[in-house]
Structure 1
Amino acid sequence: MSTVRQSGPVERWRRSAGTTAGGLSRVLVRGAGAAVVAVAAALLHDAHDPGVLCPLRRFTGIPCPGCGSTTVFIEAGHGNLLGAVAANPVTVVVALGLLVAPLGPGRWWWRLPNSRRNAVIWGAAALSWSWQLHRYGFLPV
């Protein structure tokens, strides 16, 4: 009995992710989707500002590491890229990483041991939280 390997959507994606044409088309689709979401978020925010969305910040006044992530997309939707970076630079870096992931530069990430990946994630969260605490005046210059 021979084993026949099935080619499902995930396997096809893995094969095409390394190719320039397949990866580039995925980057363009992701970029277009992100642009549509950013413009929609900006238009929705202009029509109705819901106020502070973060529960931690709303109830305690202290920002969380993810604070500013919605503002990143709102500012990007308005075309203010510097404002997006100022709101949460870690979110911008993660979004760009996810955008270009189909080109294959993140393969090194999956080769890292779990402990190292966790250390990077916790480090990024600590950096983001420090940025937010400074941004809202909880940390001195």
Structure 2
Amino acid sequence: MRDPHEQGAYGFCPFLRLTGVPCPGCGGLRAVHLLTEGELTAAAGSNLFAVSLVVVLVTAWAVWTARRARGVDARFLTWSSRTVVVAGVLVGAFWVVRLTPWGAWLAP
């Protein structure tokens, strides 16, 4: 409907506006938009973490669908405290790395 690459198409990132520093999600909407157009490389350039998250969610959905088709009463996702900690560490590491000069290729 709208192109997220256009300035102001979907508003602004409040964290970026307040601090001048991009958050880990900055570029995620552009990445998902580019994925829907089949542009994997450009999507990864917008937000590699968002692309990875989409891959994980699609894989989890496919596994869940296959299990449900076999009649197994499966949960879509289970979140243990370890999973939450690992996810938090990954998001934090991605955020820090994309703000450093040697991780500038990850910046939105």
TM score, norm. by length of structure 2: 0.64
Relative to structure 1, the CA distance from residue 66 to residue 46 in structure 2 (aligned partners, 3 Å threshold; closer, same or farther) is closer
Instruction: Structure 1: give runs of 5+ residues left out of the alignment.
Output: 1-39, 134-138
Q: Runs (4+) of structure 1 moved beyond 4 Å?
A: none
What does 1:32-111 correspond to in 2, within 5 Å? 40=1, 44-45=2-3, 49-50=7-8, 53-104=12-63, 110=78
Relative to structure 1, the CA distance from residue 120 to residue 82 in structure 2 (aligned partners, 3 Å threshold; closer, same or farther) is same
Instruction: Structure 2: give runs of 5+ residues left out of the alignment.
Output: 65-74, 103-108
Do 2:32 and 2:51's aligned partners in 1 also have CA atoms closer than 8 Å?
A: no
- The structure with more radius of gyration: 1
Give me the CA root mean square deviation: 2.8
Do 1:73 and 1:84's aligned partners in 2 also have CA atoms closer than 8 Å?
A: yes
Q: SS of the residue aligned with 2:24?
A: coil
Query: In percent, how many aligned pairs have the same letter?
Result: 28
Distance 1:123 1:104 in 2: 25
Q: Which has the higher contact order (CA 8 A, sep 6+)?
A: 1
Do 1:84 and 1:92's aligned partners in 2 also have CA atoms closer than 8 Å?
A: yes
Do 2:5 and 2:30's aligned partners in 1 also have CA atoms closer than 8 Å?
A: no
Q: What is aligned with 1:32? A: none
Aligned length: 90
